[in-house]
Amino acid sequence: MKVNCHDKNYPYWFGKPMQCPATCSQSCYADCNSCKPVCVCSVPGACGDPRFVGGDGNAFYFHGRRDADFCVVSDRDLHINAHFIGKRGADGMSRDFTWIQAIAVLFDGDHRLYVGSRKTAAWDDDVDRMELALDGEPVHLPQEADVTWTSSAVPGLSITRTKEANGVLVALDGKFRIRANAVPITEEESRVHRYGVTSDDCLAHLDLAFKFDALTGDVHGVIGQTYRTDYVNRFDVKASMPTMGGESNFTTSSLFAADCAVARYAPGSHDDGVAMVSELAGVTCTSGMGGQGVVCKK
């Protein structure tokens, strides 16, 4: 897969295609600042059987529990939960294999964003399995790379397809950028790790990359705590699979509930407003379904 830099502040690299590294041939993005392609799973976020990269740059695992929800970030005006799916582990294992199937983002007091991957049997890279919704209303994006949906209800909120199918960038100006790719468990992964994938479910899940712009010093959650200035990494750096425990601290009663034991979500009032779409050269915009947003493409 090839990706492009779309930031005009970098004229030399703007629009220039970059080849994804072999280690993440279908899951990278162009970092305009460093002028190179970056693997989604090498930056702060969560991938696979969830392997997290914290805000401090260190990697660890948090296995959670299948068919359960956990808060991964909880701050004063931002809360992100993740829904875990799972598969019974191989004989002799004391836990299930787990993956993140969907996330819920609570922000600005009363807005709820859903990003998930649909269950599927046989995987096809050209068939979109992403599911998106804002405040309970589906967000529909044409299957074209670089198409952008801009919210008419939430100023500064946009969702952009990073490829024709199964990849999006969700951004809220001044708050966060979340890259989400829907990916399957391949036959080779299942064979090597003994996942036991069956023909009726390829265990489609999300690979995630986070970038936060306004976290407070009191932020918590599975990955949120790693952004605190007082966070101390107590993992054994020599361990092959450093694992974070404390599952009970991060469990929530549902995907959209901010009620984990370490919850910090207590947003203040915010001004209502309507997002305005800039008149950009070479960009065509049309109204979204139900007047809930605007879809733009280059």
pLDDT at 298: 56
pLDDT, tens only, 252-276: 999 999 999 999 999 863 443 333 3
Q: Examine residue 104 and state whether it is found in any structural domain, yes or no.
A: yes
More confident position, 296 or 117 = 117
- Residue 3: name the closest of 33, 39, 45 by CA: 39
Q: Examine residue 174 and state whether it is found in any structural domain, yes or no.
A: no
Number of domains in the chain: 2
Shared-domain flag, residues 237 and 125: yes
pLDDT at 4 over 70: yes
- Residue 296: name the closest of 172, 152, 134 by CA: 152
CB 253 within 8 A of CB 263: no
Q: What are phi and psi of 106, to 5 degrees?
A: -100, 130
Please name the residue ranges forming H helices in the chain: 187-193, 247-250
Shared-domain flag, residues 5 and 116: no
Shared-domain flag, residues 199 and 231: yes
pLDDT at 92: 61
More confident position, 221 or 37 = 221
Least confident of 20-24, 74-78, 138-142, 161-165: 20-24
pLDDT at 207: 95
Shared-domain flag, residues 64 and 3: no
Shared-domain flag, residues 13 and 113: no
Q: Examine residue 289 and state whether it is found in any structural domain, yes or no.
A: no
Shared-domain flag, residues 6 and 122: no
Under the banding of pLDDT at 50, 70 and 90, the label for residue 146 is: confident
Domain that holds residue 37: 1-42
Under the banding of pLDDT at 50, 70 and 90, the label for residue 292 is: low
pLDDT at 237 over 50: yes
Under the banding of pLDDT at 50, 70 and 90, the label for residue 297 is: low
Shared-domain flag, residues 127 and 72: yes
The whole-angstrom distance between residue 133's C-alpha and the CA centroid of its chain comes to 14
Q: Examine residue 194 and state whether it is found in any structural domain, yes or no.
A: yes
Helix (H) or strand (E) holding 38: strand 36-39
Shared-domain flag, residues 96 and 19: no
Shared-domain flag, residues 124 and 13: no
CB 155 within 8 A of CB 134: no
Shared-domain flag, residues 216 and 137: yes
Q: What is the mean pLDDT of the chain?
A: 86
Q: Examine residue 245 and state whether it is found in any structural domain, yes or no.
A: yes
Q: Examine residue 111 and state whether it is found in any structural domain, yes or no.
A: yes
Shared-domain flag, residues 78 and 26: no
Q: Examine residue 166 and state whether it is found in any structural domain, yes or no.
A: no
Q: Examine residue 19 and state whether it is found in any structural domain, yes or no.
A: yes
Shared-domain flag, residues 19 and 78: no
